[in-house]
Structure 1
Amino acid sequence: MVRFKSRYFLVSIHPQQSSKPWKPFTGKKLLFALRAAVSKYFGDFGVGSLLQTLAVKYYCDRTRHCIVRCCREHMDILSTTLTLITSLNGSACSLQIHHAAGTIRSCQRALVKFNASQLKSLLATCTPTDDRPLRADPSPMRRREPSSWEAWKQLVIAYAQAKRLNHLVVSQCASMDLFNNKQLNRALSTDAIVTVLDFMQQSGHVEWKDASKTECAVFWQSPKQWGGIIYKWAVDTGNTDTVCTFFELLEGETGEGQEFHNMDRHVFKRALQQLQKEGKAEVFSSGDEADDTDGVKFFMQ
């Protein structure tokens, strides 16, 4: 079997403030725009060189970060094109390459590190005044304000996505940067942390794993969204009509490099249960959360 060497670029898009407002954008639209830019700057040779390997493996319209793949042999064409682009999505912008590597996993780690540094910088600029949207330990009066808890929910979701967290232990949360800002000497109490997670449970972003509320699963993407990602991988890699164990997908080489690799088992199983409801998969489970023999069979539709 011949293995083609690839290169992955972690790129951020920076719209100019004086330009038109940024419209909703997708990874598919970004791919079309990149192909058009390659054609513009390198003609048919550039298009032909990257035709089979150019792909947008990740794009988030909220942060406007993306991971783009191409073949190693012609990576210079893509890197040059990225620096020459001056407009996307109808808005003037510039693109910045943060990281280049031979694996997507390396770019994912670089993105997590970058988002963590950005989050830390933003938290450091927050002031402890009454107009601050994220209070460190809300008073009883402010605990009932929906806007305050909604702001906390969005912060926890963003942090979990940046750190790729699917699981939280309440006793460990107090020492996390998310709930403990040492620079401002402000922190949430354990009771307040539980209240935040209870609020997130109402929107389906948190599921408690026990009645005493000591551990919970965090869904920064819904089970339906995770199910779609897992099912797309199964179809694209030809893993339909075959049984895959949870261990192979979560910890083995089979799922390596995928978004769901090393995911919390509770979140993973909820995603598969959603696929089972849609008739796209069948889950084989012993009922033991830690059983490596649990498996799933995907069906082509």
Structure 2
Amino acid sequence: MALSTHTTPTGFLLPSIHSAPPFFTQQPNPATQATVTEQWTKLILSYARFRRLFTLRVEDAETSGGDWDEVSRNPRINRRLLPSYLEYIISQLVAKGLAVYEPAKQTRSVQLYWRLPEEWAEVLHEWASSTGQLNTIMTFYEIVEPPLPSELSNLPISLLKKAIGILAKTARAQIIAVADGEGVRFLAGTSGR
């Protein structure tokens, strides 16, 4: 079979390397493996962004019918990503700062940074400014479950907290205690760029 791109049922365009059988196995040559790992990194992050997925687990390589099936399997060439290989790829994502183990102190599940926390901080502050939320105290829930969907919809609270922490360092946000936990007040401040 010739290498070719493929559009998945969700509309994501898989790169041609996804139709190469060696792409699904760990390579013995370190230089080749580094190249393949870089391709997996790009694929995982772009797919996560396309589908708005924030979590990747080793179990996703074992479970059919899940969110990651389109990437972790290629039935056209009868290949799938093995859990041990996905665990290696996950470790490389963490080493590059493109993911963090979530929860901490385990190595089988990560929170993906298809946008870095610093980028989420800018998205968050822009959202607060454009929706008139400056100087308003908001709960984390109000931000990640807004009445109208936004770029922040379903953002994991741990990632939201990191973004708020970044904004707090540049005096553009302030953590506030609220009745049911924590909230935030966004301030005009100046961009930390």
1:266 aligns with: 158
The structure 1 residue matched to 2:132, chosen from 238, 251, 258, is 238
CA apart distance, 1:167: 1.6
Matched, 1:177 2:177: no
The structure 2 residue matched to 1:137, chosen from 10, 25, 32, is 25
The residue correspondences of 1:1-301 to structure 2 (distance < 5 A) are 116-120=10-14, 122=15, 126-128=19-21, 135-142=23-30, 145-175=33-63, 176-209=69-102, 210-253=104-147, 256-284=148-176, 293-301=181-189
| SS of equivalent to 1:268 | helix
| SS of equivalent to 1:212 | coil
Q: Which amino acid aligns with 1:278?
A: T
CA apart distance, 1:144: 6.8
Aligned 8 A contact 2:72 2:81 in 1: yes
Label 1:292 to 1:202 Cα distance change in 2 as closer, same or farther (>3 A).
farther
Label 1:118 to 1:251 Cα distance change in 2 as closer, same or farther (>3 A).
closer
1:111-137, Cα deviation, whole Å (9 max, x unpaired): xx98943425x46972336xxxxx101
Q: TM-score, normalised by structure 1?
A: 0.53
Equivalent pairs, count: 177
Aligned 8 A contact 1:166 1:267 in 2: no
1:80 aligns with: none
CA apart distance, 1:292: 5.9
| SS of equivalent to 1:156 | helix
Label 1:264 to 1:115 Cα distance change in 2 as closer, same or farther (>3 A).
farther
1:247-281, Cα deviation, whole Å (9 max, x unpaired): 1111242xx32111111222222211211222211
- State the distance in 1 between where 2:46 and 2:75 align: 20
Label 1:125 to 1:212 Cα distance change in 2 as closer, same or farther (>3 A).
closer
Aligned 8 A contact 2:12 2:50 in 1: no
- Structure 1 or 2, whichever has the larger Rg, is 1
Aligned 8 A contact 1:247 1:292 in 2: no
Label 1:292 to 1:126 Cα distance change in 2 as closer, same or farther (>3 A).
farther
**Structure 2 unaligned blocks of 5 or more:** 1-6, 64-68
| SS of equivalent to 1:145 | helix
Q: TM-score, normalised by structure 2?
A: 0.79
1:134-173, Cα deviation, whole Å (9 max, x unpaired): x101233358732111111001111101111112232124
| SS of equivalent to 1:283 | strand
Instruction: Name the Cα RMSD after superposition.
Output: 2.7
- State the distance in 2 between where 1:144 and 1:294 align: 47
**Structure 1 unaligned blocks of 5 or more:** 1-112, 130-134
2:4 aligns with: none
- State the distance in 1 between where 2:42 and 2:35 align: 11
Aligned 8 A contact 1:250 1:263 in 2: yes
